[in-house]
């Protein structure tokens, strides 16, 4: 396995991880920002108020995006398996 192939494989892995993690992290960030704004306006500083809606939103996004995530990871795994003969050379 040469350096260019290793770098390409690593780049693809990082891109795949970012592609899958971005919708989940953006949802958590948006909900957290909205709750922080709500807490600042109402002066309610309860920790569970910040955690429970964020957890529910992330779980719901995961459930909605699960078919896409599984399909994306399956396609990536198939492409890595197909590249295995090139890894030996």
Report the chain's mean pLDDT, rounded to a whole number. 91
Q: What pTM was computed for the model?
A: 0.80
pLDDT digits (tens, 9 = 90+) for 52-66: 899 999 999 999 999
Instruction: Name every residue whose Cβ is closer than 8 Å to that of residue 36 and which is 6 or more positions away in sequence.
Output: 50
d(CA 38, CA 41): 5
Domain locations in the chain as residue ranges: 3-88
DSSP codes, 7-69: HHHHHHHHHHHHHHHHHHHHHHHHHHHHHHHHHHHHT---HHHHHHHHHHHHHHHHHHHHHHH
pLDDT digits (tens, 9 = 90+) for 29-80: 999 999 989 988 988 888 778 888 999 999 999 999 999 999 999 999 999 9
């Amino acid at each position: 396995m040469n350096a260019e192939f290793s770098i390409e494989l690593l780049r693809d892995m990082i891109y795949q991880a970012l592609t899958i993690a971005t919708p989940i992290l953006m949802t958590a960030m948006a909900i957290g920002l909205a709750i922080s704004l709500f807490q600042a306006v109402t002066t309610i500083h309860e920790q569970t108020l910040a955690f429970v809606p964020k957890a529910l939103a992330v779980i719901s996004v995961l459930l909605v995006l699960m078919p896409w995530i599984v399909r994306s990871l399956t396609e990536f795994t198939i492409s890595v398996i197909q590249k295995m003969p090139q890894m030996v050379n």
